[in-house]
Amino acid sequence: MQQRSLGPFQVSAIGLGCMNLCHAYGQPVPEAEAERLLHAALDLGITHFDTAALYGFGVSETLIGRFLAPLRQRFTLASKCGMTGVPNEQGVKVRVIDGRPATLKATCEEALRRLRTDVIDLYYLHRWDKSVPIEDSVGALADLVRDGKIRAIGLSEVSAATLRRAHAVHPIAALQTEYSLWTRNPEIAVLQACRELGVSFVAFSPLGRGFLCGPLDIDAFDAKDIRRTMPRFTPAHYPHNAGLLPAYLAVAQEVGCSPAQLALAWLLHQGPDILPIPGTTHVEHLRDNIAAADLSLSPEVLERLDAVMNDRLVSGNRYNEQARREVDTEESA
């Protein structure tokens, strides 16, 4: 697979997002299936693995540590802090955003143990805790760099202005935000800021949380599927959005690729500094995604894609009101 720069690292153009293994889209996959997928990704040339303390409240990091620690030198490891599971009064873990320096450092120590490694290559602030100055949170991550616990710092779901403030404290290697044909928020300002500062851009949910793979049965979503809380997938908005798919699927058919490959290839064509990290629980989908790196799209096809699938045509916000308050990304007027 072609290689791209992820901060100071050279990695596969398409990485693997490891949230799906245990978090957000239904029941966790059996450990044997997780092991099979992780090893298949390495064998197929993926060298960029992205996880977080939040995913399964540590389960995703644990799986990577259990199954890939002996192969640690073969891939670049990214994880995240600042959004974790904390026990409530009933002892049930709930999601908490906490960017205090002491919390970030403690989370890193826990992650190192779960991942069975001495150092995390790229460590992101998963969410900016707006009650803590970004300078303080990034300062704590800079301490972890100096201590040799992490090699580079990343940010997730922040604005161009926040990126610049953070970068003034310590160089930011990568910024991660949702980006796909139907989610264009990064195009407002943060992509340009990344390019001015030399920051790699990692695109999560590059397949539109499955939307860009073809029609979905939203009624069949698992009860814990996070898409149930996302306006675009609700009965009020999804029928309209599903109506955009035929024109998009027609382009994929004409190009001779799968809808997922078309979405990933479009992202790769947006710039050499963009690194998509699709997630999956199926090896066959993994193979399909990877093939997108070899797909060349003509200017005419790229123009058609922009016309048939963009955020101006989509109905509904990507997050509900609570999640929108928690992120710092720019939104179109």
Residue 10 in domain? yes
* Separation of alpha carbons 97 and 75, rounded Å: 28
Q: Is the pLDDT of residue 76 over 80?
A: yes
**pLDDT confidence of residue 333:** 63
Spatial CA neighbour of 17 closest among 37, 44, 43: 37
pLDDT band at 27 (very low <50, low <70, confident <90, very high): confident
We report the CATH number of the domain holding residue 159 as 3.20.20.100
Residue 100 lies in domain: 3-209+270-295
The residue with tokens 């908005």 is 237
**CA atoms 207, 124, 164, 47: torsion sign:** negative
Residue 226 in domain? no
Mean pLDDT to the nearest integer, 95-101:
97
**pLDDT confidence of residue 26:** 84
246-282 burial, b for 16+ CB within 10 Å, e for fewer?
Answer: eebbebbeebebbbbbbbbbbbbbbeebbbbbbbbbe
| C-alpha to C-alpha distances, 261 to 16, 156, 258, 264, nearest whole angstrom | 14, 24, 5, 5
The set of catalytic residues is 55
Residue 263 in domain? no
Q: Provide the β-strand partners of residue 12.
A: 3
pLDDT band at 24 (very low <50, low <70, confident <90, very high): confident
Residue 254 in domain? no
**pLDDT confidence of residue 91:** 87
Number of domains in the chain: 1
**pLDDT confidence of residue 233:** 98
Residue 333, number of CB atoms within 10 A of its CB? 4
Q: What pLDDT, in 10s, does the model give residues 167-184?
A: 999 999 999 999 999 999
* Separation of alpha carbons 94 and 218, rounded Å: 25
- Residues 6 or more apart whose CB falls under 8 angstroms from that of 147 comprise none
Residue 118 in domain? yes
**pLDDT confidence of residue 11:** 98
**pLDDT confidence of residue 332:** 81
Share of the chain above pLDDT 90, in %: 95
Residue 154 in domain? yes
Residue 189 in domain? yes
Across the chain, what does the average pLDDT equal? 97
Secondary structure (DSSP) of 72-105: GGGSEEEEEESEEEEE-TTS-EEEEE---HHHHH
Q: What pLDDT, in 10s, does the model give residues 231-268?
A: 999 999 999 999 999 999 999 999 999 999 999 999 99
Cα 151 from chain centroid?
19
Residue 77 in domain? yes
Give the three-state DSSP class for 154.
Answer: strand
Secondary structure (DSSP) of 13-63: SS-EE-STTTSSSSSPPPHHHHHHHHHHHHHTT--EEE--STGGGGHHHHH
